[in-house]
Amino acid sequence: MSDIIPKTQWIKTWSEHSVGWIQLCHDNKLNPLSAAFILAIKNAAQKYDNDSSIGCIVIIGSEKAFAAGADLKEMVKLNYASVSESRYIENGWLEISKIQTPMIAGVRGYALGGGCELAMMCDFIIANDDAKFGQPEINIGAIPGAGGTQRLIRSIGKSKAMLAILTGDMISADEAENCGLVAKVFKNQDFDSSLKNIAVKIANQSKPLAKLAKQAVNVAYETTLEEGIRSERALFYSTFALDDHVEGMEAFSEKRKPVWKNK
């Protein structure tokens, strides 16, 4: 799939207050995720990740959907040989979760199938109260393939994940928050401002400290307690080499806000 041209016309990007925004704006308001669409999203996220002025990345969709699944018009043409030989999932999807800058999924409407998987690749999800999550692949002759079976169980536990994946049923925003899939749910009138406030607060933290904190949490997510504690300790020690560590400690003792140097 190296010859695929990213569909950059299906995303809008802008930055403000050190937050990099990526909006999915496919011609179809359900934002079906094709290979070219995912490459465009991945490229935009990587560009922000390499921008030293950006301290947080937010991915949002339309009012109707974050993304309601994969592009079935594309997938229906594929067979086992084509998906395996072209490395269908490896191209684009796997790179998004490797972004070092803190990343938020802001979800309105449907986040289903690949859309749910994309949201879970972010560090956490902020949802509008109309959001619906799910992995309905079993209803169309498939199973989740971009991390759905792996990330969902880590977020909501085996029983709830198994129920969702085997039935294909959707999970409401409130249920998603109650079971840990979503960090916070906001009413429609508060969603945009609340999402922006959270993103700006993260973006205004020390950027190297935020990346180290994200790395420590991800190690806990992916490995054993013993290995996680060992990694956390090493990362904690490394903060003492940062100018921002000194600034943070001095600002606290002087009862003022820190002025981060981001180094």
Q: Which residues are catalytic?
A: 70, 114, 117, 137
Cα separations in angstroms, 168 against 76, 163, 228 = 19, 8, 33
Where does 79-129 have alpha helices with state H?
80-85, 93-96, 114-121
Task: Give the contacts of 33 (CB within 8 A, at least 6 positions apart).
Answer: 67, 69, 70, 71, 114, 115, 118
**CA–CA separation, 152 vs 138, rounded Å?**
15
Strands (E) located in the chain: 11-16, 19-24, 56-60, 65-67, 103-107, 110-112, 124-128, 132-134, 171-172, 184-186
